[in-house]
Amino acid sequence: MKNRANQRNAIAGMKSIVITLAFVFLFVVAVLLDLQYLYLMAVTLAVLPLASYAIAYFFAARFSGERLHLDTAREGKAFHIQLKLRSRGGLPQTTVRIREAIPAFLLLEGRDDPEIPLKDWNGREGYAEYALIPQKRGVYQLGPTNLETTDPLGLFTFTATIPVQSTMVVLPEPLPMYDSAQGGEGTYGLRERDGKTRRGDGMDFHGVREYRMGDPLRRVHWPSSARRGHLVVVEHERAYQQDTVIALDLSKDAEYGVGRETTLEYAIKAAATLADRTLAAGGGVTLVTQRGHLTVRPSDGDPAVGRFQLLNTLAGFECDAVTSLSEALQGLPPESGRHWAVLTSEGDSKLTGFLNRRVQLGDSVNVFFFEPSSFGGPLVTSPAVAGAELRIIERQHSPWEEGGRWFERIIRETI
């Protein structure tokens, strides 16, 4: 961008030098030869830049624009934008340059500067097309659009701002499953689990069949085997993931780090991944924060709609809650037989007490503690819960480095 601006300034400077030298030459010759028409030509040449400036200033065009794009985009995936530009009144504009006000964490695809070339510009209307690659989830304001035009001689630059603004919601992108042998699908569609670790039905009963070499013994249906005189096993139509409660802490001043390398962004990435995999496995998800809770079950409607709803909700979260996560969890129905995934960077004793009670009721609990000190924050005691699994995530486990392999490995066994 600076190189282009320097080139344009150099060209305008050269034009000014040429006009100045021509004026000096004509004036000197007119003095030496006492030729009146050369005086007139010199004066005309001297006034020409001012006339060009006045024409561009007093007959400036009024611009309007329209930005077209989808309302939502995916983190790390390019989305395309079309900017339509029109001028009304004034002189036709032969040279128009566009600079978009692009927020941080939105990168122009294939370009190093925000100057966008116009297409099919006829002096009155045209359009520009470009693509942005979001580097971080969130809600972004695009615009305004800044324009640059020149006078007829190209000596002076005029700027204008078109207040054309739009909103773009960037959804968090769940991490892919990197190692299907660990945490992937097993013989019955999902990783087989020990029934002692979680309560509730994980599969729909379909019937029984004869035992085959390699079938787990815990699937043997002993009453039917006794009646038939040979081993038979329970067969399920499909393995479904158990419903999961994802509790995300949005306590005020509890976010540590800079940019997308913060405790909140790591927690959002973990929540998106857990929710996505649970829904894909057929389970329901209840997302709980200090802002309220949202429940999505594939059986209640289109799973894709529920997934979008969850990711869209996660996209707008900020650490701005004045209440604690434990208070938000207290408002949930006192049901047991659930799986809990708690994501926090706080050491709240009330939260620890609540989770202890859930474990006593037979629930399985995973606590994801995003270590504040590794993000430049204070040293905080993690909320250790007897009978729950504690997973500590540090800054070095970035979900954006190496495709998030280390990060994904930490949360793989949760769902």
pLDDT at 380 over 60: yes
Q: What is the pLDDT of residue 110?
A: 86
Q: How far is CA 300 from CA 11, 252, 257, 296, 318, in A?
A: 65, 34, 38, 8, 28
Q: What is the pLDDT of residue 236?
A: 55
Q: What is the pLDDT of residue 52?
A: 87
Task: Indicate the DSSP class of residue 88.
Answer: E
Q: Confidence band (pLDDT; 50, 70, 90) for 334?
A: low
Average pLDDT (305-319) is: 95
Beta strands in 125-214 (DSSP E): 125-134, 138-142, 145-150, 157-162, 166-171, 203-210
Domain spans in the chain, listed from the N-terminal domain onward:
2-58, 62-171, 203-239, 244-414
- Provide the mean pLDDT of the chain: 84
133, 77 Cβ separation under 8 angstroms:
yes
Q: pTM of the prediction?
A: 0.77
The helix/strand/coil state of 38 is helix
CATH number of 62-171: 2.60.40.10
313, 348 Cβ separation under 8 angstroms:
no
Q: Which of 24-28, 309-313, 348-352 has the highest mean pLDDT?
A: 309-313
Distance between CA 366 and CA 348 in Å, rounded? 15
Lowest mean pLDDT among 101-110, 169-178, 313-322, 381-390: 381-390
Distance between CA 288 and CA 351 in Å, rounded? 13
pLDDT at 98 over 80: yes
Look at residues 198, 191, 184, 196 and name the one whose alpha carbon lies nearest to residue 341: 198
Q: What is the pLDDT of residue 331?
A: 79
pLDDT at 38 over 70: yes
Q: What is the pLDDT of residue 285?
A: 93
Distance between CA 30 and CA 14 in Å, rounded? 24
Q: What is the pLDDT of residue 265?
A: 97
Structure tokens at 150: 């020149």
Distance between CA 184 and CA 182 in Å, rounded? 5
Q: What is the pLDDT of residue 292?
A: 92
Which one is predicted more confidently, 201 or 305?
A: 305
The helix/strand/coil state of 390 is strand
Q: What is the pLDDT of residue 319?
A: 96
Average pLDDT (231-254) is: 78
Distance between CA 210 and CA 221 in Å, rounded? 10
Lowest mean pLDDT among 55-64, 78-87, 163-172, 405-414: 405-414
Q: What is the pLDDT of residue 74?
A: 96
Q: Give the architecture (CATH level 2) of 244-414.
A: 3-Layer(aba) Sandwich (3.40)
Structure tokens at 298: 């594939």
Which one is predicted more confidently, 374 or 150?
A: 374
- CA quadruple 244, 172, 397, 318: dihedral positive or negative? negative
Average pLDDT (138-147) is: 93
Distance between CA 80 and CA 65 in Å, rounded? 17
Average pLDDT (76-96) is: 89
Q: What is the CA radius of gyration of the chain?
A: 33
Q: What is the pLDDT of residue 235?
A: 65
Average pLDDT (327-339) is: 77
Beta strands in 38-111 (DSSP E): 62-68, 72-74, 79-88, 96-100, 106-108
